[in-house]
Structure 1
Amino acid sequence: MYLQHLSLTDFRSYAQVDLTLDPGITVLLGSNGIGKTNLMEAIGYLATLSSHRVSSDGPLLRFGADRALIRAKLVRGDQSTVLELEINASRANRGRINRSNPVRSRDLLGICQTVLFAPEDLALVKGDPSNRRRFLDELLVSLMPRHAATRSDYDRVLKQRNALLKSARTGKFTAGHEATLDVWDQHMARAGAELLHARLELVDRLRPHLKNAYEQLTDGSKAAGAVYRSTLLNQLDDDGATSVLGTDPAVPGLTAEDLGTLSVDELTERYVQAFAASRRRELERGISLVGPHRDELELILGEAPAKGYASHGETWSMCLSLRLASYYVMLDDTRTGGSAPILILDDVFAELDVQRRRKLAAIVSGAEQVLVTAAVEADIPEELAGRRVKVIPGGIDE
């Protein structure tokens, strides 16, 4: 799959811009702050319905505008698809597929698939667990769009359950509230089990690709790995930090080895048990302490956690390896009729030393479409020879 045409209206710094693209490698060159990243952000948003730079949609709208529009023409084999996504300031976002009637924005998920590398990726290693959970969930939704509803259902139930727990701290919690909490426990257990089951399967698929990608980018002296830490096993403390392994699980008799073998129904029952065991602490804290929203994907380098132990260069290699691993997982899916995702490298090469630049370039150069942004052409390795596009204030200089 490749992106043939991108059009933005009132998105970020652009009142209107059109960009025609080809398969292979395209490098967008321009001074820092000129708008290169805005173009890449729009493509990434079309794929995931979220930005790699901000957590809300407001900043995506050009100042003074009440909506922004992203249009894209994607080519997959002999077929082309036109996507339109309207980002609104005061109402729900809407989408169109091949100029059909408006649909929910999440109905566009899975059509445009991207893997985006950016300086913000350092947070995947150095940041808090929410960054790694988001990485997993975005990849999960890209591979199986139906899990957008899974995540949405879980977030909705979690919000309701937390509101009930919070009322307990203010002295307004009654027997009626407790009965309602039992109902929300059942809903949250089911939604949480579906999300946990999907994440565990995804981590199993990612793990070998992460190891191989790290070996490709480095001298291979350390092995990269990933371990999923679940609150079902009490592997995290009340503040979300990794606990000392070997503590008693939230559900007696449950081990880390068990998790990956359990069905959604079995995980649902385990969550119900864990909620019951944790209720006193949750009522005291006024917050849900067990569930996928507090789980952690711990990244391992050698024998130590990457966070806090990896050098700056090792941290960058781990971040790049995570993105490459997600790319390889998507390629695995293409064997069943999909297509290769669009690779986006946004201002990444300026952050890397020469050796890592060349190794990364060699790995990605054979992809169906690679979009690269850079302020200085000298930062681009020779392995990424291809079309150059100059980005100027407010548009493209063809």
Structure 2
Amino acid sequence: MHVTHLSLADFRSYARAEVPLDPGVTVFVGPNGQGKTNLVEAVGYLATLGSHRVSSDAPLVRMGADRAVIRAQVRQGERQQLIELELNPGKANRARVNRSSQVRPRDVLGIVRTVLFAPEDLALVKGDPGERRRFLDELITARSPRMAGVRSDYDRVLKQRNTLLKSAALARRHGGRTLDLSTLDVWDQHLARAGAELLAQRLDLIATLQPLADKAYEQLAPSGGPVALEYKSSAPGAAHAREELFEQLIAALAEARKQEIERGVTLVGPHRDDLLLKLGELPAKGYASHGESWSYALALRLASYDLLRAEGNEPVLVLDDVFAELDARRRERLAELVAPGEQVLVTAAVDDDVPRVLAGARFAVADGAVQRV
């Protein structure tokens, strides 16, 4: 699978941009702040319905514009599809496939798949648990686009349950009133049902990803490792089957209820979990060096790529200003590993940052223009 044409309207710094793309390696070169990352960010948005740089859509719309449009022509084998996403901050986004009638944005998930390497990836190792949860959930959705609905359901129930708990906590603090919590059992059931599905998918993913991550780390840092991925649940237990996970979550919610009512927030569920990354016998966070942390983050992305490729529909590889962050050895090793990809999109401030093995099309990006050279 590869993108053959990318079209942007009022996206980030671009009033308009038309970029033809070929299979193989394409490098966007230009000084910082000229819009290189904006191009690959748009491709990534098609795959995840989100940005790897910001948490909301508002910054993606060009200043002064009401909306932004991302349009891409995608080829998989002999089949071509046109995807259009309209971003409307504060309102519902819109989507179309092959210029047909409007579909839900999440219906386009799975048409484009990407694995994106970026300087922000260091947060996978050094950052908060939310970074690692997002990594897992985006990869789960790439494998099974229907999980976007499960994640949406979980987030909706969590928000409504938290609203009820917050109201109960406020009632207790002001006047000692007791709020009717009879509906809390219903919300527990909904939260545990969606949570068990998400948790089962995460556990399956980690088991599948573990040997791939260990292999990728060995390729990047032959003298390091081994690496280990361990799931740290807020509802601990040995269950792996969905129904058992459901019962496990229900029991944990019941045990935590008193504390939840006092604090006004849900304390149990996938939204409170973490992925523990170990290097040898120690957690990578706090113990790994800067170079080891970078290798670990890159290994997770390479493992993701190997997993998606093995399951069909090879993803687009995106390397956003990564090589400038790496030492010469890691730079060359990473380039050798990704060069055979069906489509590899690279951004760099200068040509010298890009290893020679990544030969292919070159675009100069400057002053809002994207010009093939």
Give TM-score, length-normalised by structure 2: 0.97
AA of the residue aligned to 1:327: Y
- For 1:10 and 1:125, the matched residues in 2 are separated by 34
The reply on whether 1:284 has 2:287 as its aligned counterpart is: no
Counterpart of 1:108? 108
- For 1:280 and 1:28, the matched residues in 2 are separated by 55
Match of 1:330 among 294, 300, 308: 308
Q: Deviations over 1:49-101 (max 9, x none)?
A: 00000000000000011100000001111111110000012320011111100
Are the equivalent residues in 2 in contact too, given 1:60–1:68 (CA < 8 A)? Answer: yes
- For 1:168 and 1:156, the matched residues in 2 are separated by 19
Q: Secondary structure at the match of 1:177?
A: coil
Counterpart of 1:141? 141
AA of the residue aligned to 2:189: Q
Q: Secondary structure at the match of 1:51?
A: coil
Are the equivalent residues in 1 in contact too, given 2:154–2:194 (CA < 8 A)? Answer: yes
Are the equivalent residues in 2 in contact too, given 1:214–1:220 (CA < 8 A)? Answer: no
Alignment of 1:222-371 (within 5 A): 222-233=225-236, 254=237, 258-260=238-240, 263-334=241-312, 339-371=313-345
CA deviation after TM superposition for structure 1 residue 131, in Å: 0.3
Q: Secondary structure at the match of 2:171?
A: coil
Counterpart of 2:13? 13
- For 1:42 and 1:56, the matched residues in 2 are separated by 14
- For 1:179 and 1:66, the matched residues in 2 are separated by 43
TM superposition outliers: structure 1 runs of 4+ over 4 Å = 172-176
- For 2:325 and 2:274, the matched residues in 1 are separated by 27
CA deviation after TM superposition for structure 1 residue 354, in Å: 0.4
- For 1:306 and 1:343, the matched residues in 2 are separated by 25
CA deviation after TM superposition for structure 1 residue 177, in Å: 2.6
- For 2:224 and 2:30, the matched residues in 1 are separated by 37
Counterpart of 2:159? 159
Counterpart of 1:393? 367
Are the equivalent residues in 2 in contact too, given 1:28–1:374 (CA < 8 A)? Answer: yes
The reply on whether 1:192 has 2:195 as its aligned counterpart is: yes
Q: Secondary structure at the match of 2:311?
A: helix
CA deviation after TM superposition for structure 1 residue 273, in Å: 1.1
Are the equivalent residues in 1 in contact too, given 2:4–2:20 (CA < 8 A)? Answer: yes
- For 1:156 and 1:204, the matched residues in 2 are separated by 28
AA of the residue aligned to 1:56: S
- For 1:311 and 1:369, the matched residues in 2 are separated by 31
Q: How many residues align?
A: 369
- For 2:328 and 2:48, the matched residues in 1 are separated by 31
Counterpart of 1:242? none
Q: Percent identity?
A: 59
AA of the residue aligned to 1:301: L
Q: Secondary structure at the match of 2:257?
A: helix
Are the equivalent residues in 1 in contact too, given 2:47–2:113 (CA < 8 A)? Answer: yes
Match of 1:215 among 215, 218, 222: 218
Are the equivalent residues in 1 in contact too, given 2:5–2:20 (CA < 8 A)? Answer: yes
- For 2:190 and 2:179, the matched residues in 1 are separated by 17
AA of the residue aligned to 1:278: A
AA of the residue aligned to 1:355: R
AA of the residue aligned to 2:222: D
The reply on whether 1:99 has 2:89 as its aligned counterpart is: no
CA deviation after TM superposition for structure 1 residue 178, in Å: 1.9
CA deviation after TM superposition for structure 1 residue 385, in Å: 1.3
CA deviation after TM superposition for structure 1 residue 165, in Å: 1.2
Counterpart of 2:129? 129
Q: Deviations over 1:275-296 (max 9, x none)?
A: 1111111111111111000000
State the Cα RMSD in Å.
1.2
Counterpart of 1:245? none
- For 1:220 and 1:197, the matched residues in 2 are separated by 34
The reply on whether 1:382 has 2:360 as its aligned counterpart is: no
CA deviation after TM superposition for structure 1 residue 389, in Å: 1.1
Give TM-score, length-normalised by structure 1: 0.91
- For 2:162 and 2:328, the matched residues in 1 are separated by 49
Gaps of 5+ in 2: none
AA of the residue aligned to 1:212: K
CA deviation after TM superposition for structure 1 residue 331, in Å: 1.1
Q: Secondary structure at the match of 1:25?
A: strand
- For 2:357 and 2:210, the matched residues in 1 are separated by 27
Are the equivalent residues in 1 in contact too, given 2:171–2:179 (CA < 8 A)? Answer: no
Match of 1:206 among 204, 209, 227: 209
Q: Deviations over 1:228-270 (max 9, x none)?
A: 011111xxxxxxxxxxxxxxxxxxxx4xxx233xx21221111
Q: Secondary structure at the match of 1:96?
A: strand
